[in-house]
Amino acid sequence: MEKSVFVIALAAVSTQAMSAAYKIPEQSINSTALSGAYIANANGADASYYNPAAMVFNKEGATIEADLTYIHLTGIEIKNDSPGFANDETKEENFLVPTFHYVSPLVGNARFGLSLIAPAGLTKRWKGDNRAFAEDFTLKTIEINPTAGYKFNDRFSIGGGLRAVYSQGKVKSSNTAHPLVTVGRDMDGESWDFGYNLALQFRATDALDLALTYRSKIDLTVDGDATLFGSVPPGLPGAGFPLPVYNDGARVTVPLPAALNLAAAYTFNDRTTVELVYERTYWSAYKKLDFKYDRDLNPVFTAVFDDPIKKKWQDSNSFRIGITHRLDGKWTLMGGFAYDKTPIKEKYIGFELPDSDAKIFSLGARYQYSDKLNLGAAFLYDKKDSLKLKAGENINAALAAGAKFEDASAYLLTVGMNYDF
């Protein structure tokens, strides 16, 4: 059986636009509208988060942006060829994610920013037999990201910031959803963890901007409570005999990988900007999952929940393109596309994270309501490829004979406002 507990979710996310896995890279109207291709051309209050080196080139004065993103996740269907495991699907999920960004006026050649975002998370809840592995699989995160930028001249600037990330996770699995799975768990935990981000901006010409951003690896130190319960599984001595309940502390350290973005934005005729972004996420830092408990477990719980699990994820790439067109003095139109590679090998796919490569499409618009107030909305569609596991390809016994995950997708709608002081 597989240890699909909440830290797997925490290990599958990062506080930035990560490749695949559980991510929420869209933290503003512009980012949603441009499929995340918003780094070299970051030019509003949200530049504090996406590229603090670029915010020093904002127009004079301070600016704030407040947004609200509605996220809808479709159900994922599985056709399972493994004997004893039926087809199943996850529940649909809906979320509201608020975000806030602020950039100060220029202080000499410097500017300061602050972003409050929800960078990663979401939920998976299976309806049928797979509740034995992920009945409720939820992650919530909040990041506080104070930043600063400094321009050496009209062409070159640097920036950086501190990332303070609060994570809260919960997992429940059923010991009655499937006859072969007679143990369950109810776990929750939380942590505060810290990292940093760096940025460089080079205005090669009046039309061409080049940028590099880097977000550090964060070791996520999750500390919480675990309840493990159930009976001896079939096939073992004493099958059906109740096991003593474990109700005590549990903890784990999981690396959130570093990520590098290289971006170039070119503006044609002062009206149309095309941005290309290459993103490299260093998921190979995630090698295994190893829990520590406050006291010894019985042999059944040790085998199911305590033995380290190999993950061996691989570094992944994302490719993004965004187009921004200033239609007139009032309207700005945007569109984007991205190709997102999953970091998870087929061998290690589980019910808590049946991830696959994705294609992302987006549109958006901004309206200059007054000299100070700008309103906007954006829509994004994230379509996951079907994921087919061959017989013998996966380490999970419940997927050993092969399976197919399909119909996974996400819809995002972001609305908000930007106000200049």
In sequence order, the β-bridge partners of residue 295 are: none
- Is the full-model pTM beyond 0.95? no
Q: In the Cβ-directed half-sphere of 161, how many Cα atoms lie within 13 Å?
A: 29
Task: Check whether 222 has a pLDDT greater than 70.
Answer: yes
Among 24-28, 147-151, 241-245, which stretch is predicted with the lowest mean pLDDT? 24-28
> In sequence order, what DSSP letters do the residues of 242-295 get, joined into one string?
BPPPEEEEEEEEEEEPPEEEEEEEEEETTTEEEEEEEEEE-GGG--EE--EESS
Determine the CATH number of domain 6-420: 2.40.160.60
Sequence-distant (6+) residues with CB within 8 A of 134 are 4, 124, 125, 126, 171, 173, 351, 352
pLDDT beyond 70 at 17: no
Using alpha carbons only, how large is the chain's radius of gyration in Å? 23
Q: If we measure between CA atoms, which residue out of 5, 17, 92, 119 comes closest to residue 353?
A: 5
How far apart (Å, rounded) are the C-alpha atoms in residues 65 and 406? 36
Q: What are phi and psi for residue 7, nearest 5 degrees?
A: -70, -20
pLDDT reported for residue 216: 92
Other C-beta atoms lying within 10 Å of the C-beta of residue 176: 11
- DSSP assignment of 9-71 equals HHHT--SSS-SSSS-----SHHHHHTTT--STT--STTHHHH-TTTGGGSPSS-EEEEEEEEE
Q: Domains of the chain: which residue ranges? A: 6-420
Residues 6 or more apart in contact with residue 407 via CB below 8 angstroms: 74, 75, 76, 77
Q: In the chain, count H helices and then E strands.
A: 5, 24
Residue with tokens 């995950």: 405
- 182: pLDDT strictly greater than 50: yes
Q: Of 131 and 323, which is predicted with more confidence?
A: 323
pLDDT in tens, 89-120: 888 888 889 999 999 999 999 999 999 998 77
